[in-house]
Amino acid sequence: MIDPIELFKDTFRRAEEASRYDASATTLATATSSGEVSARIVLVKRADAEGFYFFTNYRSRKARQLAENPKAALVFFWPELGEQIRVEGAVQKLPTAESDRYWAERPRDSQLGGLASEQSQPLESRERLLARVAEVESQFEGRTVPRPEYWGGYLLVPQRIEFWSNGDHRLHDRRLFKRRSGTWTESRLYP
Ligand SMILES: Cc1cc2nc3c(=O)[nH]c(=O)nc-3n(C[C@H](O)[C@H](O)[C@H](O)COP(=O)(O)O)c2cc1C
């Protein structure tokens, strides 16, 4: 049987070639422990046998939801391919060394923005944000911008991955992969 992670990687490579925009922009849905759901776009920076990686602010709304309910869903959609991939599973924080590594690869402007932003907190004005960015710019002028402890990565360990592709006459194809005790099984779903 084909490994769904390999199938994801193949599809993602095709999406990168075909997409006009960043193919890694993906919907991430999280929920509170009482089941209130929220969703937003994040960039999924990597996928491997362990799972799917994204980076964010650990004090953001999504991070608060993941702290109380460490489960999430991702939805990729690439209109140029007519394909959707849905991923569901448990989420864990990445080890700090991995977050450090990704932080170091980010452009300096993104680092300064990440440092200056209290993501998901009320912001009194746009000027306040610009002033905070200017503060951190001068604080770290000529120096490496360190990763703040409130910024880092998560790994979504998939339990379920579904590949949807557009078919003729609305006969879309849906291949579902489910993992139990480390083994993937495949089935098909009605569209
Ligand atoms: C194309 C695009 C890419 C984004 N990538 C990220 C990302 O990788 N990490 C992130 O924290 N927010 C990213 N955002 C912003 C989120 O959508 C969201 O506004 C932010 O994370 C706060 O969400 P929260 O309040 O639910 O935590 C992105 C937004 C867009 C439109």
Residues belonging to the active site: 170
The whole-number average pLDDT for the span 7-15 is 97
Q: Which atom of ligand 1 is nearest to the CA of 61?
A: 27
Please give the pLDDT value at position 167. Answer: 79
pLDDT per residue over 105-117, tens digit each?
A: 999 999 999 999 8
41 in contact with ligand 1, CB cutoff 6 A? yes
Number of domains, the chain: 1
- Return the structure tokens found at 99: 């977050």
Does residue 172 belong to any structural domain of this protein?
A: yes
54 in contact with ligand 1, CB cutoff 6 A? yes
Please give the pLDDT value at position 73. Answer: 98
User: How many angstroms separate the CA atoms of 93 and 11, rounded?
Assistant: 26
Please give the pLDDT value at position 170. Answer: 73
**Short-list 141, 133, 17, 159, CA closest to 74:** 159
Please give the pLDDT value at position 169. Answer: 72
Does residue 117 belong to any structural domain of this protein?
A: no
User: How many angstroms separate the CA atoms of 88 and 105, rounded?
Assistant: 27
Question: What range does the domain containing 52 cover?
Answer: 4-104+149-188
Does residue 126 belong to any structural domain of this protein?
A: no
56 in contact with ligand 1, CB cutoff 6 A? yes
Please give the pLDDT value at position 172. Answer: 83
| Residue where the block lists tokens 């390999």 | 6
Most informative mutation of 52, 56, 62, 147 for ligand 1 (most atoms within 8 A of CB) = 56
What CATH number corresponds to the domain at position 51? 2.30.110.10
pTM of the model: 0.95
